[in-house]
Amino acid sequence: MPLRYLLHLEHANLPMHVTDAQDVRRVSVLKATGLIEAAIDPAFDTDHGSYRLAQAALVVCITEEGHAEIEKLRGHRGGTDPASRREKAKTRLEPLDYLRAIERSAFPLRVEDPQEISCVDVLKQAGFVDAAISPGLAWKEAGGPPQELAVIRRITPFGRAQLARGAAK
């Protein structure tokens, strides 16, 4: 069932490549209903001039509508109003939102916030940014806990195409 798959996606590292035929169908339904943002491989076979079943998809993120549907599925009545969803969204940074936020930044861009570094890692794995992420290193001066550092060199052409698709919506 696609809604059960939506619950699965909530805990997945997004963006996520999907190749299982049944999961690709689920992704297609969730995308069509506006619950997720996803790229599905072209289903038009140019060699034979016919349509075929999509064989792969890239799930990019769960939309605000998708998060609202998850809340409904769990039976949460409180906290489903738009203001509380926005408040929750402030605490959990989505990778595509972060990509939009850095779109016009000067590169290379140094990132030290752990939540932002997590987004950089996801965006790097998806091929949306060219970045280097250092392992946790202890600061010599502060003697505090290990601190990661990421340096985003650029947004890749694939990442720019994703931003253009998002702007067209």
Q: Do residues 67 and 145 both lie within one domain?
A: no
Confidence of residue 44 (pLDDT cuts 50, 70, 90): very low
Q: Do residues 10 and 87 both lie within one domain?
A: yes
Q: How far apart are CA 137 and CA 123, in angstroms?
A: 22
* 44-57 mean pLDDT: 62
Q: Which residues, 6+ apart, have CB-to-CB distance to 61 below 8 Å? A: 14, 15, 36, 37, 94, 95, 96
Q: Do residues 125 and 87 both lie within one domain?
A: no
Q: Do residues 85 and 6 both lie within one domain?
A: yes
Going by DSSP bridges, is the β-strand pair 36-40/57-62 parallel, antiparallel, or unpaired? antiparallel
Say what the pTM is: 0.47
Of 45, 67, 91, the one marking the end of a domain is 91
Cα separations (Å) of 49 from 20, 40, 43, 67?
Answer: 24, 18, 11, 38
Q: Which residue has the higher pLDDT, 80 or 35?
A: 35
pLDDT in tens, 55-103: 888 888 888 888 888 888 777 544 445 555 455 445 567 888 899 999 9
Q: Do residues 138 and 71 both lie within one domain?
A: no
Print the domain residue range for 138: 95-168
The radius of gyration of the chain from alpha carbons, rounded to an integer in Å, stands at 18
pLDDT in tens, 1-22: 678 888 888 888 888 888 888 8
What pLDDT shows up at residue 169? 59
Structural domains in the chain (count):
2
What pLDDT shows up at residue 99? 92
* 35-59 mean pLDDT: 70
pLDDT in tens, 120-153: 988 988 889 999 988 765 454 455 566 778 899 9
Contact 96, 163 (CB under 8 A): no
Q: Do residues 114 and 135 both lie within one domain?
A: yes
Q: Do residues 61 and 109 both lie within one domain?
A: no
